[in-house]
Amino acid sequence: MDRAQSMNLPAAAQSYHILDYLSLACRHIALLAAMVATSGSLFFSEVLRWIPCELCWYQRILMYPLVVILFVGIWRDDRNVHWYALPLALTGIAVSLYHYLMVMLIIPPAPCAGAVPCAFDYINIPGVLSFIKIPFLALVAFVIISVMMANLALAETPPAHGRAARIAATVIVLGTTALFVGLGMMI
């Protein structure tokens, strides 16, 4: 269907057309979210020398494998990668939300066994963006990954596959890595 034909479609059909495009890219969007979250957490700890708390480690344990699972799932054209990624991402949502509520002092901080208290706040942005904290960033990444994997599970349109999908996944991994390494070298 070309663009002129899609202009004559009802809104519901046009939105379905947009959802088809989202379904084609959902694995790559999830991979990008996992790569940014993984690279960002490594940037915070290895470049900025922020010591992760115990709950930060749990979030990392849930996030880091998602990069490998999603990348291999794209390379192998695994249409069922959501079965492997979704449990980690949903568990990550629960841990990140719990951690975020502690950092925001909505729930009382739990005692953590690490060198840094779990309610410690490294990011102090004043004003309307004061809600942005490290657990919030992880929460957003886990939600994006979960939504993309749920979309993949429910999609009628199979995701993109083949050489272009593999190249795009490789570009995401190498590009994100290069970006964060470059940032680390500038600081």
Asked whether residue 14 is assigned to any structural domain, the reply reads no
Asked whether residue 53 is assigned to any structural domain, the reply reads yes
CA neighbor of 165 nearest in space, from 27, 64, 68 = 27
Q: How far apart (Å, rounded) are the C-alpha atoms in residues 69 and 38?
A: 13
pTM above 0.75, yes or no: yes
pLDDT at 4: 46
Asked whether residue 8 is assigned to any structural domain, the reply reads no
Asked whether residue 1 is assigned to any structural domain, the reply reads no
Residues 6+ apart with CB under 8 A from 146: 86, 89, 90, 93
Asked whether residue 5 is assigned to any structural domain, the reply reads no
Q: How far apart (Å, rounded) are the C-alpha atoms in residues 44 and 150?
A: 29
34 to each of 117, 118, 137, 143, 177, how far by Cα in Å?
A: 25, 22, 11, 11, 12
Q: How far apart (Å, rounded) are the C-alpha atoms in residues 131 and 141?
A: 15
Asked whether residue 54 is assigned to any structural domain, the reply reads yes
Quick one: DSSP state of residue 106?
S
Determine the structural domain holding residue 172 and report its residue range.
Answer: 19-186
Q: How many CB atoms lie within 10 A of CB 110?
A: 13
pLDDT at 130: 87
Q: What would the pLDDT profile of 98-152 be if each residue is shown by its tens digit?
A: 999 999 989 988 787 778 888 888 888 888 998 999 999 999 999 999 999 999 8
**Helix H or strand E segment including 36:** helix 11-42
- Range of weakest confidence among 66-70, 92-96, 110-114, 170-174: 110-114
Q: What would the pLDDT profile of 9-47 be if each residue is shown by its tens digit?
A: 555 445 556 666 777 789 999 999 999 999 999 999 999
Number of domains in the chain: 1
pLDDT at 113: 74
Asked whether residue 2 is assigned to any structural domain, the reply reads no
Asked whether residue 4 is assigned to any structural domain, the reply reads no
Q: How far apart (Å, rounded) are the C-alpha atoms in residues 182 and 187?
A: 9
